[in-house]
Amino acid sequence: MTAATSAPARVRVIRLLRVRDGMEAEFVRSYEGVRAGAEGFAGHLGEQLCRSLDDPAQWLLTSEWADLDAIRRWRTGDAHRTLVEPMNACLHDDRWTGVFQVRETAPR
């Protein structure tokens, strides 16, 4: 499979975030709103929110989607923009987002 011939079956969005000091509770509360909105969206498969043990201001957010089209529809929709505004207000600007193809591996 190549990117030019077909879209990957599943994709994972990974966001590395830095939460502003004192805004952790608001960040988690607003993330829960985004997660609840995504749960009802066609193609959304799941979420994880992780906080660094080494740097409590650093968080990792991942979401898994049925395909690239599903995440594109979610990210360009009006509901997404409205839901993520409060969460993004809790963040520093030095954040990173990537979209990756999911390939399952099994132990041998």
CB atoms within 10 A of CB 71: 22
Token look-up 């077909």 returns 6
Whether 84 and 34 have beta carbons less than 8 Å apart is answered as yes
Q: Tens digit of pLDDT for each residue in 15-63?
A: 999 999 999 999 999 999 999 999 989 999 999 999 999 999 999 999 9
CA 38 from chain center: how many Å? 10
Give me the phi and psi of 8, to 5 degrees please. Answer: -65, 150
pLDDT at 4: 46
Q: What is the pTM of this model?
A: 0.82
Domains and CATH numbers, the chain: 11-96 (3.30.70.100)
